[in-house]
Structure 1
């Protein structure tokens, strides 16, 4: 009998450790999102509801990849930044300026731009991120070390430093 009781106590203790660890993991994950490294550059959505924070601008070979997270500025708001990338938007609202040259989004084999196909953000009270975006562009020459980014629905984001990989 005593060994069954001991086993039950050990099992209960293990369960408590697992539950405590899971709670700690969620807290750590939450803290990691809010304390992630500072953005490379920022801009504001046209509505002013969120801040576009460039988290990555990486040149690898002939491709420049830019990633953005949106931090809420106005609580409890949902908005569509763009519903699709039209041909007109592709040519006028999604590009990188590097020096005096404009680079449009790359396209895949089906002629689809290599970017988030639509962008909606949802601001909630406790969420540190309300949405994300990515785009792939032709990489500018190696002597270009920063670019400006224009995407539909967000003010132009200037002085984005490029990391080479």
Structure 2
């Protein structure tokens, strides 16, 4: 009787685990579909034309503005190097947010490294919903600024990005 109870308990636990895993995979697939179907705040082509950069988030939280991009593939089996590294010149001239006529450079960490991807390569494949992603943290413009433009190397300037406050 004890052996039957243990077997029944094990079978129930295994069934619950499989059901939970199935639900988790379904929830993940739904979340992934929702992420890729959100209308972008702004779009621009990469220099090589392999993908479209889409601003999916521009959040001002306190004194930090975080902008997130995803790259939607436009080509099949194409690798595109957006940028290899961030030199001091690139940091000062190629990575910034423009709010009105004020330029905001990327924030840096305690080692003076910009708070963004140190290099960016995307792999475009029309069968995949996303070719890559990018994010950057900038000083937040004043609260009365409702939208900004973003400039990063290898991508058209992304204009009229509406900000969300949190």
TM-score scaled by length of structure 2: 0.83
Corresponding residue of 1:35: 34
TM superposition shift of 1:22 = 4.7
Q: Note the alpha carbon deviations across 1:106-125, whole angstroms, 9 max, x for none.
A: 11111111111111111234
Q: Note the alpha carbon deviations across 1:19-41, whole angstroms, 9 max, x for none.
A: 67756654553453233321111
Corresponding residue of 1:158: 159
CA gap 1:44/1:102 in 2 versus in 1, 3 angstroms: same
For structure 1, which segment, 79-88 or 32-41, has the greater mean C-alpha deviation from structure 2 after superposition? 32-41
Corresponding residue of 1:132: 133
Q: Note the alpha carbon deviations across 1:120-162, whole angstroms, 9 max, x for none.
A: 1112343211111111111111110100000011000000011
TM-score scaled by length of structure 1: 0.84
Corresponding residue of 1:142: 143
TM superposition shift of 1:105 = 0.7
Q: Secondary structure at the match of 2:114?
A: coil
Corresponding residue of 1:71: 72
2:91 counterpart of 1:90: yes
**Ranges in structure 1 where 5+ consecutive residues have no aligned partner:** none
Q: Distance in 2 between matches of 1:33 and 1:107?
A: 30
